[in-house]
A and B are shown apart, each in its own frame.
Chain A
Amino acid sequence: MVALIAICVVFASQSEFFLTERNLTTVLRNSVDLAVVCAGMTIIIILGGIDVSVGGIVAVSAVFIGRAYQLGMPDWVIVPVGLAVGAMLGAINGYIIAKSRVPPIVATLGTMYIYIAVLFLVIGGVWISGLPGTLSFLVLGEFAGLPAGIWIIGGVYGACYLLLRHMPWGQRVVAVGCDEASARLVGIRVDRTKIQAYALLGLLAGFAAVLYVARLRNVEVNIGTNIALEAIAATILGGANIRGGVGSLIGTLLGVIFIKLTQNGLVLIGVSSLWETVIIGGLLITVLVLDALEGRRTA
Chain B
Amino acid sequence: MSQDLKLSMRGLVKRFGGVTALDAVDFEVRRGEVMALVGDNGAGKSTLIKTLAGAHQPDGGRIELDGREVHFATPQDAWSRGVATIFQELALAGKMTVADNIFLGREIIRPVAGVPFLDRRAMQRRSRELLDELDVEIPDIQIWVEYLSGGQRQGVAIARALNIDADLIVMDEPTAALAVAEVRKVLGFIKTLRAQGKSVILISHNIQDVFEVADRITVLRRGRNAGLVDTAAATPEDVVGLITGASVARRTADATP
Which residues of A are in contact with B by a Cβ distance under 8 Å?
Answer: 162, 166-168, 171-172, 174-175, 177-179, 181-188, 245-246, 298
Contact = CB atoms under 8 A, between A and B. Distances in A.
30 contacts: A162-B117, A167-B118, A168-B109, A168-B116, A171-B100, A171-B104, A174-B96, A174-B100, A178-B95, A178-B96, A179-B91, A179-B94, A181-B91, A182-B90, A182-B92, A182-B93, A183-B93, A183-B104, A184-B75, A185-B76, A185-B79, A185-B91, A186-B104, A186-B105, A186-B106, A186-B160, A187-B76, A187-B105, A187-B106, A188-B104
Contacts of B109: 168
Interface in B99-116: 100, 104-107, 109, 115-116
Given A177-B95, A185-B75, 4 more contacts: A174-B96, A179-B93, A182-B90, A245-B93
A172 B90 CA distance: 17
Interface in B131-147: 146
Given A168-B109, A175-B104, A245 B116 contact: no
Contacts of A168: 107, 109, 116, 118
B254 interface: no
Given A167-B115, A167-B117, A182 B91 contact: yes
Contacts of B115: 162, 167
A245 B91 contact: no
Nearest to B90: A182
A172 B101 CA distance: 11
Contact of B96 (A167, A175, A188): A175
Interface of B: 75-76, 79-80, 89-96, 100, 104-107, 109, 115-118, 120, 146, 160
Contacts of B100: 171, 174
Contact of B93 (A174, A187, A298): A174
A5 B107 CA distance: 40
Contacts of B96: 171, 174-175, 178
A182 B89 contact: yes
A171 B107 contact: yes
Closest 3 pairs (CB-CB, A-B): A178-B93, A182-B91, A245-B95
Residue with the highest number of chain A CB atoms closer than 10 Å, among B105, B106, B118: B105
